[in-house]
Chains A and B, each alone.
Chain A
Amino acid sequence: GNSVTQMEGPVTLSEEAFLTINCTYTATGYPSLFWYVQYPGEGLQLLLKATKADDKGSNKGFEATYRKETTSFHLEKGSVQVSDSAVYFCALGRFGSSNTGKLIFGQGTTLQVKP
């Protein structure tokens, strides 16, 4: 079936370090891929998305490239800040030949950035 797998957390980094959070997926058809972020005490909000293979989504210094050959959508940032501390969720949708299917979320990865 359709699923998303994220690397387990927590991920603890020092400020200005490079960040990678791995996400791989299994899906039928050609899904769209999303990264959501949840800051403490808040709901999830969309960080970036990519709708087809080789697309790169980017926002707030974060990037992720849709890799169909490796079924991956890893999240990266060159220099993290303390304010990036949050839980990050990978998600997929629009899978299947009819482009339907509700979003499926990964289990979330907690990022802690220390000054």
Chain B
Amino acid sequence: DAGVIQSPRHEVTEMGQEVTLRCKPISGHDYLFWYRQTMMRGLELLIYFNNNVPIDDSGMPEDRFSAKMPNASFSTLKIQPSEPRDSAVYFCASSATLSDEQFFGPGTRLTVL
């Protein structure tokens, strides 16, 4: 298996633009997680899905953020409109069960100018 795949690896955009981050989890994993990592706040869980259904989105910072999982092999995290304070590394992770090892993707480094 190729592991968790994220795209793009780097994204530079201007304030106010829409940003879409993509993730392909490991095949057979029922759980998918989106995290954000910054120097100031560390690693934060934004949202997670079980069998394509959002279960806990309490970590989503505000309405500008939205996440979808239209099928078992694809998820998106969208920011609209983007702001400079959204600059961070965004990780996607997947796992077979809720409490077991999570496998992380390489991350998307987002810079909002």
Contacts of B107 in A (CB 8 A): 42-43
Q: Are A93 and B104 in touch, CB under 8 angstroms?
A: no
Q: Are B101 and A101 in touch, CB under 8 angstroms?
A: no
Given A44-B91, A107-B42, A108-B42, A102–B104 Cβ distance below 8 Å?
no
When the two chains form the complex, which single residue of A41, A43, A101, A108 contacts B98, counting CB atoms closer than 8 Å?
A101
Q: Are A44 and B99 in touch, CB under 8 angstroms?
A: no
Min CB distance A32 to B, Å, is 7
When the two chains form the complex, which single residue of A45, A100, A105, A107 contacts B99, counting CB atoms closer than 8 Å?
A100
Interface of A is mostly: loop
A49 within 8 A of B: yes
Chain A: CB-nearest residue to B104: A43
Min CB distance B52 to A, Å, is 17
Q: Are A42 and B99 in touch, CB under 8 angstroms?
A: no
When the two chains form the complex, which single residue of B4, B56, B99 contacts A103, counting CB atoms closer than 8 Å?
B99
Q: Are A102 and B48 in touch, CB under 8 angstroms?
A: yes
When the two chains form the complex, which single residue of A42, A43, A49, A100 contacts B101, counting CB atoms closer than 8 Å?
A49
A46 within 8 A of B: yes
Q: Are A44 and B42 in touch, CB under 8 angstroms?
A: no
In the bound complex, CA of A45 to CA of B106 (Å)? 10
Chain A: CB-nearest residue to B109: A41
Q: Are B106 and A102 in touch, CB under 8 angstroms?
A: no
Q: Are A102 and B98 in touch, CB under 8 angstroms?
A: yes
Q: Are B99 and A43 in touch, CB under 8 angstroms?
A: no
Min CB distance B99 to A, Å, is 4
Interface residues of B in 74-113 (CB under 8 A from A): 91, 93, 98-107
Q: Are B106 and A42 in touch, CB under 8 angstroms?
A: yes
Q: Are A101 and B99 in touch, CB under 8 angstroms?
A: yes
